[in-house]
Amino acid sequence: MVSHSRKPDLGVVFNPKRIALVGASADYRKLGNSILMNLLSSEVQVYPVTRNRERVLGVRAYPDLLSIPEPVDLVIIAVGAKYCPDLMPQVARAGARYAVIISGGFSETGKEGAELEQELLEAARKAGVRFIGPNCVGVSNSRLFNGTFTLMPERGSIGLVSQSGALGGMLIYMTRSKRIGISKFASVGNAADIGLSDVIDYLKADDKTSVIALYVEGVEDGRRLFTSLRQTARLKPVVVLKGGRSKAGSRATLSHTGSLAGSAQVFDGMVRQAGCVTAPTLDSLLEIAKIFDYQPLPQGGNVGIISNTGGAAVLAADALSHFGLDVPELTEPTRRELRQLLSPLASVSNPVDVVASGGRHEYHVTVERMLHDSSIDVLLVICAVPTFAGMTQTEHAAGTLEAVRAAEVEKPVVGVWLSGEVGKPGKDLLEMNRIPCYDDPHLASLCIARAVEYSRRHGVAIR
């Protein structure tokens, strides 16, 4: 690999004013069409480059980069791999020092592709151009532009970085169904030049990013990645999902991004030593990032549980215990108050079971008092029966929200709303008010455990 001495200024990549797209197309079946449509919906000046048309999607097109009348900040390339090396001098002459190379057909395809990737890297270095990719889905800034062929993410505070292009695009789709907002997104692909560490270093200093979520397959420079992760985790949470953990997965990684996967155990140890937290699945990668984004850090690992059914509370207590968290007895003053306020059938230990007849009032008084209990660091609120005896679908969530606002306590609150579509209105109400809400106690417990883990390592609040 040919290295650049110049550290990339990714502020230009994520905040360009003028973008050229080489490979712009009017054919909806081509990536150059999807990327152009996204760019034309962005807050940037776009210059389509194609030899086939004078206008594309109603916009004036240019036969090459040198025909563009003013300097551009970023060039996105979506043409055949064999053309990419010769484009690097043109990128520089067009005024850009950065490119995003969407094109595939490089080291992920084998020896010939690896040789072409090396040729691309040498051409870029000679021209003074830094690039993301190749074999990637692109980059986006949810407040400015979408330089990918996937959807624009909702605005938010999570920086999302993926080695895999298609999987990164899928993660964007997942965020839109989970009320998860993204600040910046980058798919680094083969990372022939600009890699994971460079993007992490940029997001570390980005004031629009409070949490970073990473999908990693292979690592070229483990020492540098460790340094970037450690420095970043001191300032903001970093959640990491590692692909290529098995022999079969490692083999797939090599053919996917051309990277060596390495030992999963060594990688996990490195991530923990750097002060980051791990995620076991795609779903949990986003959900763990969400709890960091939505809620303050816990100051300890004692979890209070509220439920309107004993079975769900038992499952939650088991899951929390599995992840090394405690479900302590409430203090006597709290238990005494709850005995007076709740049904005689209710359990006022911990978990607190308000029984199926407990509604808005019961959730309000229980949540508020448990948040004020000195033995509780995190509150897990479960609703397994969203309607009973004429109750509305949102009243348990409404009671929870009222209590959180009334308590004015900086403790994390997490929800588990069961019953599928019947429970969805309550879940949506909580998430619209930045209380993360899950469908399963085990996933909620995992997210709480990772928040506690990060807090114990760093001992500082992120808000």
Q: Are residues 257 and 281 in the same domain?
A: yes
Report how far residue 414's alpha carbon sits from residue 124's, in angstroms, rounded to the nearest whole number. 48
pLDDT tier at 267, thresholds 50, 70, 90: confident
Which pLDDT score, from 0 to 100, does residue 344 have? 95
**Containing domain of residue 198, as a range?**
138-294
Element (H, E) at 157: strand 155-162
Q: What percent of the chain has pLDDT over 90?
A: 84
Which pLDDT score, from 0 to 100, does residue 334 have? 97
Nearest-CA neighbor of 20 among 51, 66, 82, 54?
Answer: 66
CATH of the domain at 186: 3.40.50.261
Examine residue 463 and state whether it is found in any structural domain, yes or no: no
Q: Is the peptide bond before 153 cis (omega within 30 degrees of 0)?
A: no
More confident residue, 98 or 251: 98
C-beta of residue 401 within 8 angstroms of C-beta of residue 429:
yes
Of 294, 326, 350, which residue constitutes the final position of a domain?
294
pLDDT tens, residue by residue, 309-344 = 999 999 999 999 999 999 999 999 999 999 999 999
Q: Are residues 118 and 57 in the same domain?
A: yes
pLDDT > 70? residue 260? no
Q: Are residues 272 and 308 in the same domain?
A: no
Count of CB atoms within 10 A of residue 74's CB? 25
Q: Are residues 143 and 128 in the same domain?
A: no
C-beta of residue 325 within 8 angstroms of C-beta of residue 452:
yes
Q: Are residues 152 and 116 in the same domain?
A: no
Q: Are residues 117 and 185 in the same domain?
A: no
Report how far residue 57's alpha carbon sits from residue 50's, in angstroms, rounded to the nearest whole number. 12
Report how far residue 363's alpha carbon sits from residue 256's, in angstroms, rounded to the nearest whole number. 49
Q: Residue 284: CB partners within 8 Å, gap ≥ 6? A: 241, 443, 446, 447
Average pLDDT of the residues of the chain: 92
Examine residue 4 and state whether it is found in any structural domain, yes or no: no
**Number of domains forming the structure of the chain:** 3
pLDDT > 80? residue 250? no
Of 102, 132, 162, which residue constitutes the final position of a domain?
132
Q: Are residues 144 and 286 in the same domain?
A: yes
pLDDT > 60? residue 252? no
Q: Give me the mean pLDDT over the 445-462 stretch.
A: 87
Q: Are residues 237 and 362 in the same domain?
A: no
Q: Are residues 98 and 149 in the same domain?
A: no
Examine residue 313 and state whether it is found in any structural domain, yes or no: yes
- Rounded to 10 degrees, the C-alpha dihedral 268/272/273/274 comes to 100
In 7-81, which ranges are continuous DSSP H helix?
10-14, 31-40
CATH of the domain at 49: 3.40.50.720
Q: Are residues 123 and 142 in the same domain?
A: no
Of 80, 106, 132, which residue constitutes the final position of a domain?
132
pLDDT > 70? residue 246? no
